[in-house]
Amino acid sequence: MESSRTAWGWGLASISATGDTLDVWYPKLALGEMPEPSARPNHEFGNLIHDDADARGVRRIPVFTVSRLDDPIEDAADAYARLHLLSMRLAQPNTLNLDGIFAALTNVVWTNYGPFAVQDYGQRKMDVIQAASRNGFGTVADVNVLSIDKFPRMVDYVVPTGVRIGNADRIRLGAYLSEGTTVMHEGFVNYNAGTLGTSMVEGRISQGVVVGDGSDIGGGASIMGTLSGGGKHRVSIGEHSLLGANAGIGISLGNHCAVEAGLYVTAGTKITIYDKARIAAGEPLDIVKGAELSGKDHILFIRNSMSGAIEARSRSKGIELNAQLHTNA
């Protein structure tokens, strides 16, 4: 993304009976100024295109999209292009203008037969099953609803190399997963969020959050995002840091940090700065808000089991992940 702020490519759009764009799949996207119309490559969708509606009431048509990445999102095709760029690793989280994405996207019934419009789903489900029966498929699989949402699963559109994903339902299109990332079954990664290197994800990575190389998000852990009134600070986790099981943060962690299991640290949390020299001298310890420690390196956040106070202690070395668990060839 350093040399250009424009992306372009052919997508295959699903259009509902009312003209809404349900989704757009981009097999390839390119960065840089778009070519002249005479120099555009062919889309190569072939017989995947159908101008007449299928049993879902959906038409599939090719669309050529040019996305001006610093401008607000123009429409659903533009929104899907930017989500693909993130999951294709062509743009890192927080580098694209995503203003207007919720208004551009339509709420969709995501199923094993593809996207359906919400409004006429009941009738269209019956039409799909009847059509499959008429085509002689024998025992016909029922329509299985995977979710009702504006964002689909990433893996139905982009499958990045060098990653393991325990539960594909929990990775939205627009997630950025670097090579060496392992997302366990209860891990979740939202759009415009993800990992910047080898990482273990067993907890929740919210929109806008990035996790550095060699870090571990423990089971049940949560990282505060900026949606739904979560504030404006974009939380990040540095390299070789650990967010313990069932822990949470609303501040950023620097490199070589750790938050003990079950501890939630926010910007307003009162934290005691543990200092052996001051304790030995009988001097009082400093107490600061969590925001003052946001993004700083080599800190262990821990709750004192005797006093119950939350403490920040010096930590000389970060964690090292098991390399065998992250060789995802």
CA pair distance 4, 6, nearest whole angstrom: 6
Could you tell me which residues come within 8 angstroms of residue 204 by beta carbon, excluding any fewer than 6 positions away? 187, 188, 217, 221, 222, 223
What span, in angstroms and rounded, lies between the C-alpha atoms of 171 and 183?
9
> Tokens standing for 276?
């052996």
Return the residue matching tokens 């020299």: 277
Distances (CA, A) of 167 to 188, 199, 200, 324: 9, 16, 14, 20
Active site residue 202: yes
Strands 145-149 and 108-111 turn out to be antiparallel
Long-range residue pairs from 156-163, CB within 8 A, at least 24 positions apart, any chain: 157/25, 157/26, 157/84, 157/87, 158/84, 158/87, 158/88, 160/87, 160/88, 160/89, 162/328, 162/329, 163/328
Task: Give the Cα separation of 218 and 240 in Å (integer).
Answer: 13
First-to-last alpha carbon distance for the chain, in angstroms, is 26
Q: Which of 33, 44, 186, 202 is flagged as catalytic? A: 202
- Assign residue 93 a region (left: φ > 0; alpha: ψ between -120 and 50; beta: otherwise): beta
Which tokens go with 273?
A: 């700065």
Residues 61, 13 contacting (CB under 8 angstroms): yes
Catalytic (active-site) positions:
202
